[in-house]
Amino acid sequence: MTDMLSPIVLNNWLFIPLTSLFVFAAAYLGWRPLIGFLGGKALAKKEQIMHQLDLMYVTADEKQITIFLLLSSYGLGTVFFLLLFPNMVPALIMGSFVSILGMKIPPIVIQSLYEKRCKTVVNQMVDGMTIMANGIKAGLSPAQSMERVTDNLKGPLAQEFNLVLNKVRLGMTFEEALNEMGERVPQPDVQMLVTSINILKETGGNLAETFQTINSVVRERQKLEKKIEAMTAQGITQGIIISIIPSAMLLMFWTMDPEFVAPLFNTSIGVMCLCLVFTLQIIGGFMIKKMVQIKV
């Protein structure tokens, strides 16, 4: 029996596929709860991602999002596991680390894009409020003034105003459509605009003057934010450089002398050190970002 198995064990081209097939069969037949648990972890942020993509007017199929999340987590983890497979412990460590990292990165990227879009909406409010104030002075209603904004501006603010107008045409009240816009773009300046229009439509008042006041507030806030960005630019640059140096040094040593850094990938301690370094880099990057990020 041993003589029959020895050629299979010694031949990696047979041993690796057979081992993978055995592990897959055992997991599928006997560890379905484990697969369900791991799948749930990988897809935990799927609803949040789809909701934020919908808020950004990005059409995405649920099946495609599911496949992408699974590939970015367990798919990449499996690739790194197979690359280091002859060394079981380093392969397991690196595969698990990459899988966990692949679970965390996509929601952070989508959240960052969503926040960037909300910030763009606020930045466009200066021009939008100017157009709306001129429209109110010319005798137009707030809805008609919004339509002028959609005709003259492009970008997220025009998309939001256009959606408000479409909902009003379908029978929703103007106040309800504005409140939904405030929920889609949870920014203080947008909330101030929505609240001002809704209150003044009920109580009466000078909408043109209100829009000019909002315009001044947004403009001053933007000036202060740009001043803070200029003052914190050095800290941000230092954080980026510090985060890049370890990876750049590793790449340089790998190019100059691959055998010198080979233990980092071939031994358990080396792989654990790599995972620890990358983890500390990520934590340090987030800490630096929090330190230099000042909310106005």
Per-residue pLDDT of 234-252, as tens digits, reads 777 877 888 888 888 888 8
User: According to the model, what pLDDT value does residue 5 have?
Assistant: 43
User: According to the model, what pLDDT value does residue 32 have?
Assistant: 54
**CATH number (domain holding residue 208):** 1.20.81
Domain membership flag for residue 15: no
Residue 81 has which token pair?
A: 């596991």
Per-residue pLDDT of 248-278, as tens digits, reads 888 888 888 888 888 888 888 888 888 888 8
Task: Count the domains in the chain.
Answer: 1
Write down how long the chain is: 296
- For residues 279-287, give the mean pLDDT: 82
Distance of alpha carbon 163 from alpha carbon 149, whole angstroms? 12
DSSP letter for 61, please. -
Those residues whose C-beta lies under 8 Å from the C-beta of residue 29, and which sit 6 or more positions away, are: none
Residue 205 Rama label (left phi>0; alpha psi -120 to 50; beta):
left
- For residues 131-146, give the mean pLDDT: 86
Which residue in 71, 200, 63, 203 sits closest to 142, CA to CA?
200
Domain membership flag for residue 12: no
Give the least confident one: 141-145, 202-206, 281-285: 202-206
Domain membership flag for residue 38: no
Domain membership flag for residue 271: no
Domain membership flag for residue 95: no
Q: How confident is the model at residue 27 (pLDDT cuts 50, 70, 90)?
A: low
Which residue in 127, 137, 203, 188 sits closest to 161, CA to CA?
127
At residue 113, does pLDDT exceed 60? yes
At residue 295, does pLDDT exceed 70? no
At residue 294, does pLDDT exceed 80? no
Q: How confident is the model at residue 114 (pLDDT cuts 50, 70, 90)?
A: very high
- For residues 184-209, give the mean pLDDT: 83
Q: How confident is the model at residue 24 (pLDDT cuts 50, 70, 90)?
A: low
Distance of alpha carbon 289 from alpha carbon 232, whole angstroms? 10
Range of the domain at 175: 123-218
At residue 23, does pLDDT exceed 70? no
User: According to the model, what pLDDT value does residue 6 have?
Assistant: 46
Per-residue pLDDT of 167-191, as tens digits, reads 988 988 888 888 999 889 988 888 8
Question: For a pLDDT cut of 70, what percent of the chain falls above it?
Answer: 84
Domain membership flag for residue 77: no
**Contact present, 135 and 218 (Cβ < 8 Å):** no
Domain membership flag for residue 171: yes
At residue 157, does pLDDT exceed 60? yes
Domain membership flag for residue 180: yes
Task: State if pTM tops 0.75.
Answer: no
**Contact present, 207 and 142 (Cβ < 8 Å):** yes
Distance of alpha carbon 157 from alpha carbon 174, whole angstroms? 17
Give the least confident one: 31-40, 224-233, 274-283: 31-40
User: According to the model, what pLDDT value does residue 296 have?
Assistant: 59
User: According to the model, what pLDDT value does residue 278 have?
Assistant: 84
Residue 56 has which token pair?
A: 């950004």
Q: What is the DSSP string of 145-157?
A: HHHHHHHH--SHH
DSSP letter for 56, please. T
Per-residue pLDDT of 66-102, as tens digits, reads 888 888 888 888 888 888 777 777 778 788 888 888 8
